[in-house]
């Protein structure tokens, strides 16, 4: 579950401005919607604010990850000419928007039934032990935050976690530790299945349409 939105928390900055580079992306996002419907851009603008904070956080000491301060939501409300509460409503509803500070690597562990049946409890235990933090907590160096989430739509390769924009699937205790170790060194672990599986294909290879799979070069 994501951390709650506390508009008066000490960590809330006084103000927020989009950088020049992000301002350009903001304008591009708004231009995709018909005139008079610019408020529909609230979701991409929230995403851009979160990404800008993540870029700033990657250079800070200690590091931190992408989240959306209240000041950024107010700025978005001003840009889109809408009531701030409407921006807060969207930001607090969706789990992909972090409304409180998180670590540089936000480890979202799926604990829904298919992942749970395939061992998500072991993955949770591996992460908490290896990082020395509980669910919803952040490591003191600001690198990792752990969170349990509901189904992320990759059940076929359960158990899985999402870390920032990437999915890591078919996890075992060993592969989970390796991923965390690589990220703690800011290296890029292999994304997707951690076994020899292609996409969501059976581990033994295609079971139907074999000729087509061969032609498409997937086996």
Q: Which residues pair with 169 in a beta bridge?
A: 193
**d(C-alpha 79, C-alpha 75), whole Å:** 6
Number of residues engaging ligand FES in binding (CB under 6 A): 11
Q: Which is nearer to ligand FES, 44 or 114 (CB)?
A: 114
When asked if residue 158 is in the footprint of ligand FES (CB under 6 A), the reply is: yes
Q: Which is nearer to ligand FES, 112 or 164 (CB)?
A: 112
Q: Which is nearer to ligand FES, 74 or 148 (CB)?
A: 148
When asked if residue 49 is in the footprint of ligand FES (CB under 6 A), the reply is: no
Least separation in angstroms between CB 157 and ligand FES: 8
**d(C-alpha 144, C-alpha 156), whole Å:** 26
Q: Which residues pair with 161 in a beta bridge?
A: 109, 168
Q: Which is nearer to ligand FES, 45 or 152 (CB)?
A: 152
- Interface pattern 99-138 for ligand FES (x via CB under 6 A): -----------x-x-xx-----------------------
Cβ(147)–Cβ(135) below 8 Å: yes
**Secondary structure string (H, E, C) spanning 143-207:** CEEEEEECCCCCHHHCCCEEECCEEEECCCHHHHHHHHHHHHCCCCCCCEECCCCCCCCCCCCCC
**d(C-alpha 53, C-alpha 175), whole Å:** 29
Among 154, 161, 163, 179, binds ligand FES (CB under 6 A): 154
Among 46, 80, 160, 180, binds ligand FES (CB under 6 A): 160
**d(C-alpha 115, C-alpha 100), whole Å:** 26
When asked if residue 152 is in the footprint of ligand FES (CB under 6 A), the reply is: yes
The residues binding ligand FES (CB under 6 A) are 110, 112, 114-115, 151-155, 158, 160
């Amino acid at each position: 579950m994501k951390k709650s939105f506390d508009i008066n928390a000490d960590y809330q900055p006084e103000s927020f401005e989009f950088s020049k580079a992000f301002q350009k992306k903001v304008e591009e996002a708004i231009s995709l919607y018909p005139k008079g419907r610019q408020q529909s851009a609230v979701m991409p603008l929230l995403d851009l604010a979160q990404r800008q904070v993540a870029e700033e956080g990657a250079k800070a000491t200690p590091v931190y990850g992408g989240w959306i301060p209240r000041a950024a939501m107010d700025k978005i409300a001003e840009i889109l000419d809408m009531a701030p509460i409407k921006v807060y409503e969207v930001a607090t509803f969706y789990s992909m928007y972090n409304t409180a500070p998180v670590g540089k690597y936000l480890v979202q562990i799926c604990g829904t039934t298919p992942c749970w049946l395939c061992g998500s409890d072991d993955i949770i235990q591996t992460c908490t032990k290896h990082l020395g933090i509980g669910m919803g907590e952040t490591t003191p160096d600001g690198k990792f935050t752990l969170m349990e989430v509901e189904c992320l739509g990759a059940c076929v390769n359960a158990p899985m976690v999402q870390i920032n924009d990437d999915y890591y699937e078919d996890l075992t205790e060993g592969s989970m530790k390796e991923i965390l170790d690589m990220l703690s060194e800011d290296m890029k672990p292999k994304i997707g299945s951690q076994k020899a599986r292609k996409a969501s294909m059976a581990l033994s290879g295609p079971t139907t349409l074999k000729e087509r799979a061969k032609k498409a070069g997937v086996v």
